[in-house]
Structure 1
Amino acid sequence: MFGVAFAMAAQPGGAQPGGAMGAFQAILPLVFMFAIFYFLLIRPQQKKAKDHRTLLDSLKKGDQVVTAGGIHGKVGAIDGDVVLLEIASGVTIKISKGYIATLKKD
């Protein structure tokens, strides 16, 4: 069974069917798939991450924020990667700066 399949695929002189054009046609669908994944998945995710980094870099005392867990509060102080978040009068919690999701719209 396998001998017949190999005999049908083999050509005189050992050349593969299609040559360089066959190899190009085999790679072309992979290139298109990568382009689709890039424009639909990778690029938007990179843009969102860049916007989030910009948001975190622009944080200042007094900003109204919402954390990734849904806690609303006001930034009391920023110490490196730790943010003191006032969630009620006299109630302050420490959170990691990366968990701030958005600025709260007033």
Structure 2
Amino acid sequence: MFISNAYAQAAAGGDAPSTLVSLLPLLLMFVVLWFVMIRPQMKRQKEHKAMIDALAKGDEVLTAGGLLGKVTRLGDPYIAIELADGVEVQLQRTAVAQVLPKGTIK
């Protein structure tokens, strides 16, 4: 009776390190996932938000839909861009994909 209890206690104490070792690959996969996928995406979101906040009247932009235009009016949720002579479109600020260098649109 005492011997079996001693074996049971030894077996329970021996499982703790093996449980930790079995969780190590899962933790390593999460760390790799963080540095390969999550962190770069957060960095791109932060850069896009900074670009949108820095929009000014007269900037030439490319929208997510592929439209090229010049910013004519700025509002909080929306901006207006001029596509051609007198053709003006309103869209959300988040639809701006890229700010182009001055003089790109001729």
What's the TM-score once normalised by structure 2's chain length?
0.84
Give the distance between the partners of 1:50 and 1:85, measured in 2 at CA: 23
Query: Number of paired residues?
Result: 96
Query: What are the residue-to-residue correspondences of 1:38-57 with 2, within 5 Å?
Result: 38-57=34-53
Of the three residues 33, 43, 46, the one matched with 2:29 is: 33
Which residue in 2 is equivalent to 1:85?
Answer: 81
| Superposition CA RMSD, Å | 1.6
Could you tell me which residue of structure 2 aligns to residue 101 of structure 1?
97
5+ residue gaps, structure 2: 1-6
- Pairing partner for 1:74 from 70, 75, 81: 70
In structure 1, the gaps of 5 or more residues are 1-11
Secondary structure, aligned partner of 2:45:
helix
Task: Report the equivalent of 1:9.
Answer: none
Residue 104 of structure 1 deviates from its aligned partner by 1.3
Give the partner amino acid of 1:13.
A
Q: Which 4+ stretches in 1 moved above 6 angstroms?
A: none
TM-score with structure 1 setting the length? 0.84
AA at the equivalent of 1:90: G
Kindly provide the amino acid, as one letter, of the partner of residue 43 in structure 1. R
Q: CA deviation at 1:77?
A: 0.6
